[in-house]
Amino acid sequence: MASPVDSKAPRDFDVVPKSRMVHLKTKEGQDSVDLQHLRRFAKPKYLPQHVIGQRDLVKEMYAIPRAWESTPLAVMQAPATTVWEYSTPAKLRSSNRPPTLHLLICPVHVIALADLHSLLLERVPFCSSADSWAYPLQIKQVTVPLLAPTSPEQADAWSSDYWPTFYRKTNPFGAHPATIAKAEDDLHRPATGNLGVEEAMTLAKKAGIETQCRDYGIGPGCVIMERADNVTEIIAVAGDARQKPLLGGSGIPGGQGGCNGNIMGHAVMRAVGMIGRKRLRVATPLISRRAAKAERNFENCGLDHDEKARDAFFLDLPITPLEEQYFVKDNIKPDGYLCLRLEVFLTHEPCMMCSMALVHSRVGRVIFANRIPQTGGLTAEMIRNDTGPVGLGYGLCWRKELNWQFMCWEYIEPKNKDTGNVDQDNKAEAGGGELELMLNDNNANVSSFASTHV
């Protein structure tokens, strides 16, 4: 809710004590930061002592207009014919003081103190009414955590030092640490018969080498795997084919032609396309009918549907024996959404287009081996890093602005391992490589705070 001057600096919020529910609509932009980890209403017993003893910022404006001070007595007196109605007396309070609640209002920069005071005086219970005397308006300024805590211990510490704070078993910087640890354990120490990260990377390299040997691509390879009930299945394998000639199709002059840099020939785009074809192949009759109807829409709109031209451009059919070996298997669950929660292993960091394709495909995990600093879209560092070249800093795997996030690692091969051509009959040694989790390097483990009205 606060736009910080310094992301690590404390932030001030205003607090209104002795209040009931107050609905405010202030300047645009105050909800730009999620503060759901803070308790909106708080009783004094849950507040740190320095918050309760905080001075009232509008002490000089403490006086509140009272209705009976300006209303003639004749108007306030009941008529002589009034029939009195009796009811059960309310339960006596143990104290003459009304119950107190402290309400978190908004960041201090959103509205001026005088304007906030005037605005609150127009609303119950601070406005001129019979019980406004019981709720004198006080506004305090306190510091609150701007980011959610990452552990129960941190939430308890912030509750004692700043404001009552919730720990919701989530991590504001991405997946929960326990989820990350479980994923890394699956990758490094797979169950018997399952695919580990080293074996998957070896297979991805092999796919890239096969297409490169045919002068179709420049080396990147991709393997997509599904993990269900602790069992792994290789769903698609694809090598880079951006330089493959476009063969066939009425839309291509002469029936064939070179394509230097066909973006749809990138290994990620080809593998995702293969997943889509397999989804349709194993789909239930209902989904198959819907897909066929969508295909017919081309004809209904008067568009020619040249399947050969489409296949030649999108290259989402196998072009090597290795790709064919895994493409022909009907080993994917039917009717799922494209690559939902599948695991992707890449020899190289995907470009911006391929990174967004992974986001839209709803992948679960991505592991890549080599950074591409000039075009890669997954690394977050723009200034420094410890594992490879500085990237563009987009970090598309964790961006909250997008409608999907996924866990992403940079795979670091062991130093004593040969990184040259991969022997097709050799498997990588289990547990040999390291995984470096992709996070926002500028914000990871940063505790920011904001000042707010209470």
- For residue range 126-149, what is the model confidence (pLDDT) as tens digits? 776 666 666 777 888 888 888 888
Is residue 16 in some structural domain? yes
Q: Do 191 and 125 fall into the same domain?
A: no
Q: Is 336 exposed, middle or buried (0-12, 13-18, 19+ CB in 10 A)?
A: middle
Contact 437, 176 (CB under 8 A): no
Residue 42 lies in a domain: yes
Q: Are residue 165 and residue 182 in the same domain, yes or no?
A: no
Please name the residue that has the structure tokens 């390879």. 221
pLDDT at 291 over 90: no
Q: Are residue 226 and residue 146 in the same domain, yes or no?
A: no
**Which has more pLDDT, 28 or 12?**
12
- Indicate if the alpha-carbon torsion angle 92, 17, 44, 60 is positive or negative: negative
Q: Residues of the chain with pLDDT > 70: what percent?
A: 68
Q: Which of 85, 242, 197 is nearest to 429 (CA)?
A: 197
Shared-domain flag, residues 134 and 222? no
pLDDT, tens digit, 9 for 90 and up, residues 115-129: 888 888 887 777 766
Residue 83 lies in a domain: no
Least confident span in 83-97, 191-205, 417-431: 417-431
CA distance 13 to 222: 49
Query: What residue numbers bound the domain in which 350 lies?
Result: 177-243+262-279+319-438
Note whether 163 and 187 are same-domain residues. no
Is residue 349 scored above 60 in pLDDT? yes
pLDDT, mean of residues 393-408: 87
pLDDT confidence tier of residue 249, bands split at 50, 70 and 90: very low
pLDDT of residue 370: 93
Picking from 131, 147, 170, the residue at the C-terminal end of a domain is 170
The better pLDDT of the pair 302, 201 is held by 201
Question: Can you give the CATH number for the domain in which 338 is found?
Answer: 3.40.140.10
Residues 52 and 126 placed together within one structural domain of the fold: yes
Burial tier of 225 (Cβ tally within 10 Å: 0-12, 13-18, 19+):
buried
Dist. CA 237–CA 221, nearest whole Å: 8
Residues 225 and 106 both lie in one domain: no
Asked whether residue 193 carries a pLDDT value surpassing 80, the answer given is: yes
Residue 257 in domain: no
The model carries a pTM of 0.61
Residue 436: Cβ within 10 Å count: 16
Give the full edge-to-edge strand order of the sheet including 231-239: 231-239, 221-228, 343-348, 365-370, 407-412, 434-437
The Cα–Cα gap between 346 and 147 comes to 33
Are 226 and 165 in the same domain? Answer: no
pLDDT at residue number 251: 46
DSSP state of 325: H
Domain co-membership, 183 together with 53: no
On whether both 35 and 157 belong to a single domain, the answer is yes
State how far the Cα of 232 lies from the Cα of 223, in Å rounded to an integer: 12
Q: What is the mean pLDDT of residues 99-113?
A: 81
Give the C-alpha distances (Å, rounded to integers) separating 236 from 162, 247, 273, 316, 377.
Answer: 51, 23, 9, 10, 22
Q: How far is CA 372 from CA 66, 78, 208, 301, in A?
A: 70, 83, 16, 41
Residue after which a domain boundary falls, among 124, 153, 170: 170
Would the pLDDT of 236 be above 60? yes
Write the pLDDT tens digit of every residue in 298-326. 677 776 777 888 888 899 999 999 999 99
At 304, list the tokens. Answer: 């020619």
Q: Is residue 121 part of a domain?
A: yes
Cis peptide bond prior to 190, omega within 30° of 0: no
Assess whether 38 and 134 both reside in one domain. Answer: yes
The answer to whether residues 380 and 409 touch, using CB atoms and an 8 Å cutoff, is no
Residue 290 lies inside a defined structural domain of this protein: no
What is the Cα Rg of the chain in Å? 32
Per-residue model confidence (pLDDT) at position 101: 81
Whether residue 1 is contained in a domain is answered as no
What pLDDT, on the 0 to 100 scale, is given for residue 13?
Answer: 62
Residues 347 and 366 in one domain: yes
Examine the pLDDT at 356 and tell me if it is beyond 50: yes
Going along 278-379, which residue ranges are E strands? 343-348, 365-370
Contact (Cβ atoms closer than 8 angstroms) between residue 393 and residue 408: no
pLDDT, tens only, 212-228: 999 999 999 999 999 98
Furthest CA-CA distance within the chain: 106
Q: How far is Cα 371 from Cα 349, in angstroms, rounded to an integer?
A: 5
Q: What is the three-class DSSP state of 223?
A: strand
Hey, is 2 helix, strand or coil?
coil
Asked whether the predicted pLDDT for residue 280 surpasses 80, the reply is: yes
Do the bridges between strand 434-437 and strand 140-145 make them parallel or antiparallel, or are there none, so unpaired? unpaired
SS3 74: helix
8 Å CB contact between 246 and 257: yes
The whole-angstrom separation of Cα 380 and Cα 355 is 13
* 367 lies in some domain: yes
CA-CA distance, 7 to 446, in Å (whole number)?
Answer: 8
Residue 286 tokens, joined: 């209902």
Last residue of a domain, one of 150, 170, 190: 170
Q: pLDDT band for 334, please (50, 70, 90 cuts).
A: confident
Least confident of 49-58, 164-173, 286-295: 164-173
For residues 12-38, average pLDDT: 51
Report d(CA 239, CA 224) in Å as an integer.
12
Q: How many domains does the chain have?
A: 2
Residues whose CB falls within 8 Å of the CB of residue 448, separated by 6 or more in sequence, listed in order: 4, 7, 8, 9, 11, 145, 146, 147
Residue 404 dihedral angles phi and psi, to the nearest 5°: -160, 140
Instruction: Give every CB contact of residue 358 below 8 A, 6+ residues apart in sequence.
Output: 268, 272, 339, 344, 350, 366, 396, 397, 406
Q: Where are the beta strands (DSSP E) in 79-208?
A: 102-107, 140-145
List of E strands, 337-415: 343-348, 365-370, 407-412
* Averaged pLDDT of the chain: 76
